[in-house]
Structure 1
Amino acid sequence: MDKFSDMVMFVSIVKHQGLAAAGRELGLSPAAMTARVQALEERFGVKLLNRTTRHLSLTDSGSLYYKTCIEILDTVTEAENLIQSGTKEVKGALKIIAPKDIGKQYILPILSDFIRQHQGVVPYLYLNDHVLNIAESGMDIVIQYGEQMDSNLISRKLSSSRRVLCASPEYLRKHGTPLIPHDLVNHDCLAMLRSDEELKTWHFQDPDKKSSIRVEPKRFSDDGEVIRRWALEGAGIALKSILDIQDDPNNHRLTTVLNGYMKNFDSSTSVSSANLNVVYLSRKYQPKRIKLFLDFLFQEFQVRLSPYQSQ
C-alpha cells in the first residue's frame, strides 16, 4: 500500500477508536487492518498504537504520526479544492467540541453564522462537559474550561471567567443564604460528575486563606446544563462558571452567594483554571477553514459578551 493510503487508514483508526470500525469505513476486514498496522509499525520500527480488547490509544510516536497525517491530508484536500474550483474555496469538515452550556449559548449561533458565510464547510459540533485528549479524538478545536498542559497543543484564552455559587431566589428565601463556605454543609448542593468522579469537594480562597468544603449534594449530573436547570428550579446551590449563567442573575432568575471568595473544583483556585480556552493541534500549515473559524470565533465571542461586560 502507498503512504497516502496508510495515512488515511491511520486517521480513520484514531477517529473510530478501533480497527474494526475503521475497516468498515474503508472496506477492509479486521485481519487486513491488523496486517496493515503491523506493516506500518515494522516500516517505522516503532509502536504506533497501544491496543487492548477494549481500548486503543496512541503512543508518543503514534501521536506524532497522527498529527502529521492530519496536516498532510488537509493540505491535499485544499490543493484538490483549488485545482477543481480555480479558487481557494473553503471546504471540508470542521470538528468542534464544547461544554454544553457554552456550546448552546454561544458556539452554536457563532458556528451557524460562520457556515452561512462558508457553505462548503461541514460542521460537526459535539457538546460534552468532559475534557478529552484532542490528539486521539479527531477534533479540530476543543473549547474547555481550564489550562492545557500539553506543549504540543496551542491553547488560547477565549474569555476570562470565574466560578460562582448560585441559587434561585426562592431557594434562598426558603433555606437562607450561606455567609461563609462552611455554611454549605447545611444546604442542598448540586454537584458535577467528571468521569464518574463526584465533584463534591469545593475549594475557596479569600484574601487571607484557602479552605476546602466537602458538601453532601442532593443531586448529581455530568451535564452542566442540567445543573443550571436544577438551580433555576430551586433544587439547591450550584458551582458554575459565570459565563454559563450570567444572563440569569441579570434577570433575577439566579442569585450568586459567597461573592467574596474565589471558588473552584480543584485545589489551585487559580483564576486561569476557570477561564475559557480554545485548544487545537499545533500545525505549521493549518487548514484555512480552521484559521478562518478561529478568527471568527474570537471576534464574535467578544461581541456577544459585550452587553454583559459593559454592565
Structure 2
Amino acid sequence: MDKFSDMAMFVSIVKHQGLAAAGRDLGLSPATMTARLQALEERYGVKLLNRSTRHVSLTDSGELYHKACIEILDNVSEAENLIQNGVKEVKGSLKIVAPKDIGKQYILPILSEFCKQYPDVVPYLYLDDHISNIAESGMDIVIRYGELADSSLISRRLSPSRRVLCASPEYLAKHGTPLKPQDLVNHDCLAMLRSNEELKTWHFQEQDKKNAITVVPKRFSDDGEVIRYWALEGVGIALKSVLDVQADINSLRLVTVLNGYMKNFNTSTSISSTDLNVVYISKKYQPKRIRLFLDFLFDRFNSMTQI
C-alpha cells in the first residue's frame, strides 16, 4: 500500500476510535486493518497507537503522525479541488463553531450574507461553548472568547470585549443594586457550568486590588443564551460578555452594575482574556472559501461600532 492510503487509514482509525469501525468505513476486514497498522508501525520503527479490546489512544509519536496526516490529506484535497474546479471557483463546506449568543446575534447574519454572494458554499454552523480540542474538532473556524494556550493554532482578535454584571431593571427595583462585590452574596445570581464545573467564584479587580467572591447562584446553565434569558426575565444577576448583551443594554432591558471593576470567571487580569477571537489551524494552502470568509467576517466586525 502507498503512504497516502496508509495516512487515510490511520486518520480513520483515530476518528472512529477503533480498527473495526474504521475498517467498516473503508471496506476492509479487521485482519487487514491490523496487518496494515502493524506494517505501518514497523516501517517507522515506532508505536503509533496504544490498543486494547475497547479503546485506542495515540502515543506521542502517533499524535505527531496524526497531525501531519491531517494536514497532508487536507492539502491534497484542496489541490484536487483547485484542479477540478479552477482557482476562481468558491465552493465546498464551511464548518464554523461559535458560542450560542454570538452565533445567533452576529455570526448567523454574516454567514447568510456571505452565502448569498457565494451560493456554492455549504455552511455548517455549530452553536457550542465547549470545543476543547480545536485541532481534532473538524472545524474550519472556531469563534471563542479568551486567550489561547495552543501555539500550533492561529488566533486573531475579532472584537474587543469585557465581562459585565447585568440584571433587569425589575430585578434591581425589587432587590436593590449591589454597590460592592461583597453585596453579591445577598443577591440571586445566575451561574455558568463548564464541563460540570460550577463557575460561582467571580473575580474582581479595582486598580491594583483583587477580590474573589463566591456567590450563591439561583440557577445554573451550561448555555450562555439561557443565562441571558433568565437575566431578562428578572431572575437574577448574570456575569456576561458585553457583546452578548449589548443590544439588551442599549434598549434598557438590562442594566449593568459594579461598573468600576474588571470582572472575570478566573484570576486573569489581562484585558485580552475576555476578547472574542477567531481560531483556525495554520495551513500552507488555506481553501479559498475559508480565506474569503475570514476576510468577510473581519470586515463586518470592523464596521460595527466598537464597544
TM-score using structure 1 length: 0.89
Letter in 2 for 1:67: K
Residue-pair matches, total = 307
SS in 1 for 2:79: helix
Structure 2 residue aligned with 1:294: 294
8 Å CA contact 1:71–1:285 kept in 2: the answer is: no
Letter in 2 for 1:26: L
- For 1:103-114, list aligned pairs within 5 A: 103-114=103-114
- Residue 64 of structure 1 and its aligned partner are, at CA, apart by 3.5
Instruction: Give me the whole-angstrom Cα distance separating, in 1, the residues matched to 2:73 and 2:6.
Output: 11
Structure 2 residue aligned with 1:136: 136
Structure 1 residue aligned with 2:170: 170
- Residue 281 of structure 1 and its aligned partner are, at CA, apart by 1.2
- Residue 56 of structure 1 and its aligned partner are, at CA, apart by 5.7
**Distance change in 2, residues 1:278/1:20 (3 Å):** farther
Q: Mean Cα displacement is larger for which, 255-264 or 24-33?
A: 24-33
List gaps (5 residues or longer) in structure 2: none
Structure 2 residue aligned with 1:181: 181
Structure 1 residue aligned with 2:118: 118
Structure 1 residue aligned with 2:274: 274
**Distance change in 2, residues 1:49/1:281 (3 Å):** farther
Matched, 1:252 2:252: yes
- Residue 61 of structure 1 and its aligned partner are, at CA, apart by 3.6
Instruction: Give me the whole-angstrom Cα distance separating, in 2, the residues matched to 1:54 and 1:171.
Output: 52
- Residue 49 of structure 1 and its aligned partner are, at CA, apart by 4.2
**Distance change in 2, residues 1:282/1:198 (3 Å):** same
**Distance change in 2, residues 1:205/1:49 (3 Å):** farther
Letter in 2 for 1:198: E
List gaps (5 residues or longer) in structure 1: none
Letter in 1 for 2:162: R
8 Å CA contact 1:81–1:88 kept in 2: the answer is: no
**Distance change in 2, residues 1:82/1:152 (3 Å):** closer
Instruction: Give me the whole-angstrom Cα distance separating, in 1, the residues matched to 2:108 and 2:51.
Output: 35
Instruction: Give me the whole-angstrom Cα distance separating, in 1, the residues matched to 2:126 and 2:16.
Output: 15
- Residue 88 of structure 1 and its aligned partner are, at CA, apart by 3.8
**Distance change in 2, residues 1:47/1:235 (3 Å):** farther
- Residue 124 of structure 1 and its aligned partner are, at CA, apart by 1.9
- For 1:14-29, list aligned pairs within 5 A: 14-16=14-16, 19-29=19-29
8 Å CA contact 1:48–1:61 kept in 2: the answer is: yes
Structure 1 residue aligned with 2:264: 264
Structure 1 residue aligned with 2:160: 160
SS in 2 for 1:43: helix
Instruction: Give me the whole-angstrom Cα distance separating, in 2, the residues matched to 1:53 and 1:143.
Output: 37
Instruction: Give me the whole-angstrom Cα distance separating, in 2, the residues matched to 1:180 and 1:219.
Output: 22
Matched, 1:100 2:100: yes
**Distance change in 2, residues 1:21/1:114 (3 Å):** farther
**Distance change in 2, residues 1:23/1:114 (3 Å):** farther
Structure 1 residue aligned with 2:236: 236
Letter in 2 for 1:9: M
Instruction: Give me the whole-angstrom Cα distance separating, in 2, the residues matched to 1:221 and 1:56.
Output: 33
Structure 1 residue aligned with 2:72: 72
Instruction: Give me the whole-angstrom Cα distance separating, in 1, the residues matched to 2:235 and 2:218.
Output: 8
Instruction: Give me the whole-angstrom Cα distance separating, in 2, the residues matched to 1:241 and 1:54.
Output: 42
Structure 1 residue aligned with 2:215: 215
SS in 1 for 2:211: strand
Instruction: Give me the whole-angstrom Cα distance separating, in 2, the residues matched to 1:53 and 1:291.
Output: 42
Instruction: Give me the whole-angstrom Cα distance separating, in 1, the residues matched to 2:118 and 2:277.
Output: 24
Letter in 2 for 1:228: R
SS in 1 for 2:285: coil
**Distance change in 2, residues 1:63/1:158 (3 Å):** farther
Letter in 2 for 1:114: F
Identity within the alignment, %? 79
Instruction: Give me the whole-angstrom Cα distance separating, in 1, the residues matched to 2:164 and 2:9.
Output: 45
**Distance change in 2, residues 1:278/1:50 (3 Å):** farther
Instruction: Give me the whole-angstrom Cα distance separating, in 2, the residues matched to 1:210 and 1:54.
Output: 48
Letter in 1 for 2:84: Q
Letter in 2 for 1:297: L
8 Å CA contact 2:78–2:285 kept in 1: the answer is: no
Per-residue CA distance 1:167-222 (angstroms, 9 max, x = gap): 11111111100000000000010000010100000000001400000001011111
Letter in 1 for 2:278: V
- Residue 78 of structure 1 and its aligned partner are, at CA, apart by 3.0
Q: Mean Cα displacement is larger for which, 248-257 or 34-43?
A: 34-43
Q: Mean Cα displacement is larger for which, 78-87 or 240-249?
A: 78-87
